[in-house]
Structure 1
Amino acid sequence: MTGPYFAPKGGLPPQTALHTGRATFNESYAFIPKGVFSDIVTSFLPGWDRTRLWMIARPMTGFSETFSQYVMEVQPGGGSTAPEVDPEAQSALFITEGNLSLTVEGTLSELCAGGFAYIPAGASWSLIATGQTPACFHWIRKRWRPAPGIDKPPHFTANEAEIAPTLMPDTNGAWGTTRFVDPADLRHDMHVTIVTFQPGGVIPFEETHVMEHGLYVLEGKAVYRLNRDWIEVEAGDFMWLRAYCPQACYAAGPGRFRYLLYKDVNRHAPLGGSLG
């Protein structure tokens, strides 16, 4: 099954291509346009078979410290029986293309485009790409931070097509968020959601907050405010925002604009220690 989500294909630009692009990295944000997702910036992981990835976010002291994000491409029959090496790392998977069989603590789930999986820290899991074409998915990792009286959240799977978006008030339906977990569930210390703007929808103020962000554009195009810059963004682009980077958005159309969003939530700010 294929959904309306952009997945990179790799390759290389021709030797005749212009060098100038939109890639940006500064003290407030990194912007990785879809054209950067080439063969020469892929990597591989121990324990994974017939798999390559684009590592698009990783903890960096003084920039963004809470999470890593990979775009994974798994050939048919490939995958891993021991994907995670950090027992403190929880995972969120979002499938953009292809089909996967995911087993977590003995529970098997079949996932297709639009599928989501949450895997708690310390869980035993494995994954294999099924079907005749490669599977592509986002793998977001964050160390789960315990809190007094709070249990680890359980493993679950979902598909965004089966979740009604939560519409922002006073927007006439132009701005909505597909939430995979209840925001009031304090067991979760990160949220991974899908944000949707209809043509003409906006973030009507400069959001400025402590939460770090990863934003991967799944569909459409828009103009996005990052710190003091307005940048044209389109499907396949990635935005990586450190804490307090101002942001806003104007979705000009012609179609809807959608992105996969990560943010850290629901925990005290560590005093003199790691953000974990």
Structure 2
Amino acid sequence: MASTYASPIAGLPSQMALHTGRATFNEAYALIPNGVMRDIVTSYLPHWRDSRAWIIARPLSGFAETFSQYIVEVFPDGGSERPEQNPEAEGVLFVVAGQINLTIAGEPHILKEGGYAFLPPGTQWSLVNRTTSPARFHWVRKRYEVVEGIDIPPAFVTNEQDEPIRWMPDTKNTWGTTRFVEPTDLRHDMHVNIVTLEPGAVIPFEETHVMEHGLYVLEGKAVYRLNRDWVEVEPGDFMWLRAFCPQACYAGPERFRYLLYKDVNRHAKLPF
């Protein structure tokens, strides 16, 4: 099923705009609404040309500590031959606007909207926008946790339109996940999936778990439970949840979908 993916509105608001927004940062979660992802909060990255990024998550001691997440905008002819500076970092790219040319270990790929790439640590890759319009994609980064006797997973490229939604049992196909790797594949220590809730569907209990989360709303509207609060969210909003933050959801009148990060399949780190 075709999708329309949200991305930052950029620009700047009017000088007459009211300061009654929804941006929130507290001990359990952060909410970065689409309306605050403007030009003035973008960053520029080393060895990237004609590109900029909204950095919407980064490791913070005492908060979410395992990942960073960017929305990267690449203008025509922009890109990088040296995109990742950390040889221990793995990454996922997910295209939400336009088209990019991605080269992995010398093999070329074209990623259109919905395009998804997994990049294991140490991968040689490059990226360029060869179109005449800007391209935007999410870039999720995590330091890969090596485990003796378990191989590092290989790179792969796909498109979410080619992957099935796996519906939760007893939900009448109203709550499901597009999974890009199998949950039992212990080579992977993070999942970046897409969650779909049909109109009126619910997450019917307060999920409380060790995984950290980044949730970027791709389309639709919902009321989302974050710790003690019920928060209304819409396309382009980003929710950043620390471990054990309770969460639940009531989907709105249209299909509600979000890109979901979580850390998985590893022991909890001990401080000694």
TM-score normalized by the length of structure 1: 0.97
Alpha-carbon distance, 1:3 to partner: 4.7
CA deviation map 1:201-242 (0-9, x unaligned)? 100000000000000000010000000000000000000000
Summarize the alignment of residues 1-276 of structure 1 with structure 2, pairs less than 5 Å apart.
3-253=3-253, 255-272=254-271
CA deviation map 1:136-158 (0-9, x unaligned)? 00000001001121111000001
Which amino acid counterpart does residue 270 of structure 1 have in structure 2?
K
Equivalent residues of 2:167, 2:173 under 8 A apart: yes
CA deviation map 1:235-254 (0-9, x unaligned)? 0000000000000000021x
CA distance in 2, matches of 1:176, 1:108: 31
**Unmatched 5+ stretches in structure 1:** none
| SS in structure 2 at match of 1:248 | strand
Equivalent residues of 1:3, 1:96 under 8 A apart: no
**Unmatched 5+ stretches in structure 2:** none
Which amino acid counterpart does residue 242 of structure 1 have in structure 2?
R
| SS in structure 1 at match of 2:129 | strand
Which amino acid counterpart does residue 134 of structure 1 have in structure 2?
P
Alpha-carbon distance, 1:184 to partner: 1.2
TM-score normalized by the length of structure 2: 0.98
CA distance in 2, matches of 1:9, 1:30: 19
CA deviation map 1:26-53 (0-9, x unaligned)? 0000000000111110010010000011
Equivalent residues of 2:9, 2:34 under 8 A apart: no
Aligned length: 271
Which amino acid counterpart does residue 80 of structure 1 have in structure 2?
S
**Considering only aligned residues, what root-mean-square deviation do their CA atoms show, in Å?**
0.9
Runs of 4+ residues over 3 Å off in structure 1: none
Equivalent residues of 1:3, 1:97 under 8 A apart: no
CA distance in 1, matches of 2:124, 2:91: 12
| SS in structure 2 at match of 1:149 | coil
Q: Percent identity?
A: 64
